[in-house]
Chain A
C-alpha cells in the first residue's frame, strides 16, 4: 500500500445509478387501491372485504353506507335473477339546458340513469323492482326516471306483481324543469292503478330520500320501510333553517325522527331487509313462483 492510497478521497454519499432509480419508481407499492374504506360516521378504517361481507354496514358503529344500484341488487335479490328493463331510455334534454348532456355522460357509476328498473326474484318470489342510484346525478328524478318507474308499475299491474322500490334521491332533476315535476303525478297515477288492482307496493327509504321523490312514490307505499339513519324529508335542511330562523334538532329528517311521527312503518337493518320483505310478501299471500 502506498502512501497515496491512505489519502484517497472518499465519496460522501452512496450513489445509485439513474436506471435503478427509474426502476424503483415504476414499482408501485403492492396495496390495491380501495382496500380500506373509512366509515363516514365513526371514521373507522374497514377492510374492503369485511365491508362487502357486512353488506356495506360499518362493523364498528352500524353506519349504512350509500349503495349504488348494482350493489343494492346484488345484496337484495337472488343471485343472477335480475333482468333489467328499459335500460335504453335516454332523455332528450327538453329545456335544451346547456351542459346537461355532458353532465349525463360524465356520471361515473354503473347505472345509465338515476334508477335501475326490472324484474328479479327474492327467495324465489318474482318481484318488480326499482333501485334508485344516488351516485347518478344525486338520484334526481327527470323524465327517464319517471318513465322507467311508471313502466315498471304498469308492467307489475299487468302481470299481477308486487312492486318494491328502493328510493334514494336529492329530488327533482332541475335540468328538466317542469317535465321533472310532472313525473311525480305520472308515477303516482300509475301507483294508484296498481293499488286499485289490489297489488302490494313496498317502499324502502334509503339515504337520502328528499324533495319530489318524498312527495310522491316514496310516501305512497302500502308499507314504508327505511334503513337506519337515512335522511328523509321534503324541504332541504338549509332552506328550512333560513325560513324559520331556528335551530333544528340533530336527528331532524332522519328515519329515527320520522318513525315516532308516524311516517315510517319500520326501520329495518340492511342485513335483515331480505328476510323482512320476504316475510311481508308471504303474509300477503304472494306465491313462490320461481
Chain B
C-alpha cells in the first residue's frame, strides 16, 4: 500500500475541521486537474449566473462529460465571489440545465459538492430556493444518463443533496455529509451552538458512518493529514474511481440505470412494522 495513504485516525470533529480547511482543494481545482478541455458554461437562462456553481463540458481521458461543481473559493476574495460555496436558486437551475443538456447529448454527469448549504437569503427565498432544490431532486431521479457525485468537503443538507441524487455517490475520506451543520444541530436540539463537537459525533456525518449506513457507495482515500497535503494525489484517486464507475455505468441500459437509481434511494430508511 502507498505510504501516502496510511489511514489517519481522526475524530468526527477533526473531520469537520479538515473538511472546512482553508487550504482544501476546491471544486474548480478538481475540474481543472482531473479533466481536459474544460469549457465553462454560465447562467440559468432565466435570472443570472451563480458563481457558487461552476459547470460545463470537458473530457475525462477520451470521454465527453458534463461537469458541475458547487465550489468555495481558494482565497478570501474568491470565497466572497463564490458566496462561500452557498448557491442561490439560479445555481441549482444552472446545474439542472447543464444536466438536461448532458442527457440530450448522452454525456455522463460528474458532480463535485462542497457547500455549507443552500444560501439562506432574502433573494434566495424570493426566487424559490426550496422549489429549485425540489426540482433538482425530482429531475435527477429520472435523468437518463449516468450521474456520479463526489462530496469533496462539506455536504450541507438539501443544498448538497440537490446535486447528489446520483448512480454513484462517493465521499472523500474527510468530507462530511449531514442534515445540518453541527453548530446548527446543537443549537436546535440542545439550544447551545457551542456543543458542535458533541453534535458532530452524535449526528454521524463522516464518510465511514455514511458508508456503514449504505448511503454512499464508497470512500475515496485522502493522503495522510488530509487532501490539502497532496491535492494532486487526491485528484488522481478521484479520477481513478470516476473512470472505474463510468466503465460500469456507461454499458447499462438507460432504463435499468434509472430504475437502479430509484431503488438505491428507495431503500434508505429505518423503520419497523
Q: In the bound complex, do residue B179 and residue A143 qualify as a contact, i.e. CB atoms below 8 Å apart?
A: no
Could you write out 13 A-B pairs with CB less than 8 Å apart? A90-B272, A92-B270, A143-B270, A174-B180, A174-B185, A177-B178, A178-B210, A181-B178, A189-B142, A189-B265, A219-B134, A234-B118, A234-B120
Which of A19-27, A158-166, A244-252 faces chain B? A244-252
Q: Specify which chain A residues have a CB less than 8 angstroms from the CB of B158 in the assembled complex.
A: 181, 184, 211-212, 215-216, 234
Q: Specify which chain B residues have a CB less than 8 angstroms from the CB of A219 in the assembled complex.
A: 128, 130-131, 134-135
Contact of A261 among B126, B139, B161, B270 (CB under 8 A): B126
Q: In the bound complex, do residue B130 and residue A214 qualify as a contact, i.e. CB atoms below 8 Å apart?
A: yes
B5 within 8 Å of A (CB atoms): no
B138 within 8 Å of A (CB atoms): yes
Which of B61-69, B105-113, B197-205, B224-232 faces chain A? B197-205
Q: Take A90-B271, A218-B130, A220-B135 as given contacts and tell me if A235 and B120 are in contact as well, using a CB distance cutoff of 8 Å.
A: yes
Q: Take A176-B270, A215-B158 as given contacts and tell me if A94 and B213 are in contact as well, using a CB distance cutoff of 8 Å.
A: yes
Question: How many angstroms between the C-alpha atoms of A190 and B215 in the bound complex?
Answer: 18
Q: In the bound complex, do residue A92 and residue B204 qualify as a contact, i.e. CB atoms below 8 Å apart?
A: no
Q: Give me 12 other A-B pairs in contact (C-beta within 8 A), A182-B268, A240-B121 excluded.
A: A92-B270, A98-B202, A150-B266, A172-B179, A179-B215, A179-B269, A179-B270, A189-B265, A193-B262, A211-B158, A235-B129, A246-B122
Q: In the bound complex, do residue B134 and residue A216 qualify as a contact, i.e. CB atoms below 8 Å apart?
A: yes
**B267 CB → nearest A CB, Å:** 9
Q: In the bound complex, do residue A189 and residue B262 qualify as a contact, i.e. CB atoms below 8 Å apart?
A: yes
A91 within 8 Å of B (CB atoms): yes
**B265 CB → nearest A CB, Å:** 5
Interface size on B, residues (CB 8 A): 52
A97 within 8 Å of B (CB atoms): yes
Contact-size category for A: 35 or more
What are the 4 A-B residue pairs with the smallest beta carbon separation, nearest first? A235-B120, A214-B130, A189-B141, A188-B137
**B242 CB → nearest A CB, Å:** 21
Q: Specify which chain B residues have a CB less than 8 angstroms from the CB of A90 in the assembled complex.
A: 271-273
Chain A residues within 8 Å of B, Cβ to Cβ = 88-95, 97-98, 143-144, 146-147, 150, 172, 174-186, 188-193, 195-196, 211-212, 214-220, 233-236, 239-240, 243-244, 246, 248, 252-253, 261-263
Contact of A177 among B134, B165, B204 (CB under 8 A): B204
Question: How many angstroms between the C-alpha atoms of A86 and B33 in the bound complex?
Answer: 50
Q: In the bound complex, do residue A178 and residue B120 qualify as a contact, i.e. CB atoms below 8 Å apart?
A: no
B253 within 8 Å of A (CB atoms): no
Q: Specify which chain B residues have a CB less than 8 angstroms from the CB of A144 in the assembled complex.
A: 269, 271
Q: In the bound complex, do residue B125 and residue A234 qualify as a contact, i.e. CB atoms below 8 Å apart?
A: yes
B133 within 8 Å of A (CB atoms): yes
When each residue 95-125 of chain B gets 1 if its CB lies under 8 Å from chain A and 0 otherwise, what string results? 0000000000000000000000011111011
**B264 CB → nearest A CB, Å:** 9
